[in-house]
C-alpha cells in the first residue's frame, strides 16, 4: 500500500523555523516527483513546492520562494520542507503528495501536519 506520513508540524513564533518530514512507503520513492501542498484553516489548497525524482528540478510558489527549501533523501525514502522566516500566513496543514504520469496527477496525499505560526 502506498503511504505518505508527514511529521514535524507544531507551534512556532513568527520569524522562526520548522522542518517538515514525509516518510514514504509502498512504492519506489526514487522514481517519483514529490510535492508539498498546504491548506490554511477554512481555505483552499495551495501548491507550495515540488522536487523531481533526482532533485534536479525544484520549483516553489512565489509566496514561499526564498524562505522555504524542499529536499529529499532517496536512500531514506523521505521528503523534507525546511521553512524559515515563518509568517502568520504560513499557518496551514501541510500535505506531502506524490505526482506521476505525463499529466502529473497528484496522488496519493499524506494525512497532513499542522503548522501554526503565532506569538
Partner 1 sequence: SYVLTQPPSVSVAPGQTARITCGGNNIGSKSVHWYQQKPGQAPVLVVYDDSDRPSGIPERFSGSNSGNTATLTISRVEAGDEADYYCQVWDSSRGVFGGGTKLTVL
CB of 7 to partner 1, least distance (A): 15
| Closest to 116 in 3D by CA, of 12, 19, 21 | 12
Which residue's entry shows cell 527549501? Answer: 69
SS3 6: strand
Total of chain residues touching partner 1, rule CB under 8 A: 24
3-class SS at 22?
Answer: strand
Q: Which is nearer to partner 1, 12 or 112 (CB)?
A: 112
Q: Which of 10, 47, 3 is nearest to 25 (CA)?
A: 3
Within 100-119, which residues bind partner 1 (CB under 8 A)? Answer: 101-112
11 vs 105 by CB, closer to partner 1: 105
Which residue of 24, 37, 70, 92 would you call a contact of partner 1, by CB under 8 A? Answer: 37
Is 57 near partner 1 (CB under 8 A)?
A: yes
Amino acid at each position: 500500500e502506498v503511504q505518505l506520513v508527514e511529521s514535524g508540524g507544531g507551534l512556532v513564533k513568527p520569524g522562526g523555523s520548522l522542518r517538515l518530514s514525509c516518510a514514504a512507503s509502498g512504492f519506489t520513492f526514487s522514481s517519483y516527483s514529490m510535492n508539498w501542498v498546504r491548506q490554511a484553516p477554512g481555505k483552499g489548497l495551495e501548491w507550495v513546492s515540488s522536487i523531481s525524482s533526482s532533485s534536479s528540478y525544484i520549483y516553489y510558489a512565489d509566496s514561499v520562494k526564498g524562505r522555504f527549501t524542499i529536499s529529499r533523501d532517496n536512500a531514506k525514502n523521505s521528503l523534507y520542507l525546511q521553512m524559515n522566516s515563518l509568517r502568520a500566513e504560513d499557518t496551514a496543514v501541510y500535505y506531502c503528495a506524490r505526482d506521476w504520469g505525463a499529466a502529473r496527477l497528484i496522488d496519493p496525499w499524506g494525512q497532513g501536519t499542522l503548522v501554526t505560526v503565532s506569538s
